[in-house]
Structure 1
Amino acid sequence: MAPDMTCGEAVEVNRAALLEGLPHGFLGRRGGVSRGEVAGLNVGLGSGDNADHVAENRARAVAAVQPGAQLVSVYQVHSPDCVTVGGDVWTDERRPHADALVTDRPGLLLGIVTADCAPVLLADREAGVVGAAHAGWKGAIGGVTDRTIEAMEALGARADRIVAAVGPCIAQASYEVDEAFFERFCKDDAGNARFFKPGRKSHHHFDLEGYVAARLEAGGLAAVERLRLDTYAEPDRFFSFRRATHRSEPAYGRELSLIGLG
């Protein structure tokens, strides 16, 4: 059963210490107008929710983080691809297929949606460049965070000045995977075994947050912060694809993570 959400509840904004002073936030499901299984602040354009509810939720999210800013998002496909947002901003209907975006333009609010995958927000304050990435396991192992750093550097950022935060995502205790999943990561890098703990027979528990943070750290960033919030374990605060699947729910919502330049 979906949590009882009320329209009068405030939008919950989880912030990172490393990004203090910048308009940013990792949002959950509190503070929206959606009903039913996707009750709350569902921002998923492809979630099957009432379009007016999704639009209102997105407007509330922007108002909670950077009032008056223009939200920019991409059509996420679990890829490593990153796009740069310049002067010409696309509409929701013409979003490019990608899983990360960067900009050096004030007034834009970069947004990525998740429902267990790891949202990553990045910034180089000195260069005036920010980025946002959607790191599910496919995008993470494919190098979506590496591509995001490269795109930020192309705008004048430097890796050793970039700080990044990994927001709410499914935690290791909640994320059981099979042997083939484990072997795929270990084949890519034998050292990836450290991100797995034994589960039931022929299964493992994967530390997505730890893996994404390690990829960021390997990129030579100034600092990386983990919010350590488990989307699966807190149904009153976050949407979760895996939780909805385990409960045989017909739909699941998406949460939004945002960053911009003041």
Structure 2
Amino acid sequence: MTTSICRRSSSDLVTSCTGLATSRGPCPFTGREGGVSAGEHAGLNLAQHVGDDERAVVRNRELLDAELGVPVVFVDQTHSTDVHVLPAAGPAPVVSADALVTDRGDVALAIMVADCLPVLLSDPVSGTIAAAHAGRAGLLAGVLERTIEAMTQLGARPADLTASIGPSICGACYEVPEPMRAEAAQQLPTTWAETSWGTPALDLRAGAIEILGAAGIPRSALETDHPCTLEDERFYSYRRQARTGRFAGVLRRA
């Protein structure tokens, strides 16, 4: 049994809008190019809660559905540790959660971000896939651990998992107050960082790598080489522009 991050098509919204590729195939993260949103949200904005024209967002999501050849499932994200396991069959209603898990092949999973970590997990043995939104609050509270736990309940094993940590704000750019850095580093030491201008910062990507490794995912199975969203204008960034869109990490079973 195999899983697939995405499938190339004539529009290539998922692959060519970022111009990136992972070691395991085309990049599974959208960017700003290819959509119909305008103004501050210009491009392929996939979020309905950011003040964009609702018709533009609907069209952008339709384009993504067409790109992948299956309906794309979204959730209302709240920086929680809630994990939603899709029902075995039938419609997948929108729920409030910050991670999605399924072993179905008739849908794709999407998680939206604009600086937070989009983390995509796949078990090619059991066919289980997951998409998680890991901002500072969710990462420290255990959203990744809970996502992996939900995957194991569908037959996945951490040793069989591969994970891709997508474009997100880097440790050299994610400035935070010193007490916030100290609190996070006490729990996850690898998150301690300093900005390129010498102020306290957090490296959420390093923290995610620490968590995924502790859960049993081999380091060789982690795909982590993606740009900083604040530095790279191909991606939406809340830190760069508070009123902006959201891109997504997307995956589906083959």
Work out whether the TM-score is over 0.5: yes
Over aligned residue pairs, what C-alpha RMSD do you find?
Answer: 2.0
Name the aligned partner's letter for residue 82 of structure 1: V
Q: Which secondary structure does the structure 1 equivalent of 2:29 belong to?
A: strand
1:260 aligns with 2:227: no
Task: Tell me the alpha carbon deviations over residues 214-261 of structure 1, each in whole angstroms, 9 at most, x when there is no partner.
Answer: 2111110132110321111122x100001113xxxxx21000111111
Q: Tell whether the 8 Å contact from 1:27 to 1:61 is kept in structure 2 after alignment.
A: no
Displacement of 1:171 = 1.1
Aligned pairs for 1:137-216 (under 5 A) are 137-189=136-188, 191-192=189-190, 195-197=192-194, 203-216=199-212
Partner of 1:89: 91
Give the aligned partner of residue 110 of structure 2: 111
Q: Tell me the distance in 2 between the aligned counterparts of 1:215 and 1:150.
A: 13
Note if 1:39 corresponds to 2:42: yes
Matched, 1:240 2:246: no
Q: Return the TM-score normalized by structure 1.
A: 0.84
SS of the counterpart of 1:241? Answer: coil
Percent identity over paired residues? 36
CA 1:25/1:207 → structure 2, altered by over 3 Å: closer, same or farther? same
Residues 198, 38 of structure 1: alpha-carbon distance in 2 compared, 3 angstrom cutoff: closer
The answer to whether 1:17 aligns with 2:18 is no
2:246 aligned partner, one-letter code: R
Corresponding position of 2:223: 225
- Kindly tell me: are residues 37 and 100 of structure 1, through their superposed partners in 2, closer, same or farther at Cα, counting changes over 3 Å? same
Shift of 1:147: 0.6
- CA distance in 2 between partners of 1:32 and 1:255 (Å): 11
Cα offset, 1:48, TM superposition: 1.1
SS at match of 1:58: helix
| Partner Cα separation in structure 2 for residue 154 and residue 16 of structure 1 | 28
**Cα distance 1:210–1:82, how it changes in 2: closer, same or farther (>3 A)?**
same
CA shift digits 1:145-203 (9 cap, x unpaired): 111110000000001001101001011122111112112113325x34x63126767x4
Look up the SS of the partner of 1:244 in the other structure.
Answer: coil
Counterparts of 2:95 and 2:252 in 1: how far apart (Å)?
19
Alpha-carbon distance in structure 1 between the residues aligned to 2:85 and 2:127: 14
Distance 2:51 2:77 in 1: 16
Q: Secondary structure at the match of 1:160?
A: helix
Separation in structure 2 between the aligned mates of residue 182 and residue 36 of structure 1, nearest angstrom = 34
Name the amino acid aligned to 1:16.
Answer: T
Structure 1 portions without partners, runs of 5+: 1-8, 246-250
**TM-score in terms of structure 2 length:** 0.87
CA distance in 2, matches of 1:10, 1:102: 24
Structure 2 residue runs of 5 or longer lacking an equivalent are 1-10
Deviation at 1:123, TM superposition (A): 0.5
1:239–1:255: 8 Å Cα contact kept in structure 2? yes
Structure 1 residues 233 and 199: alpha-carbon distance in aligned structure 2, compared to 1, 3 A threshold: closer
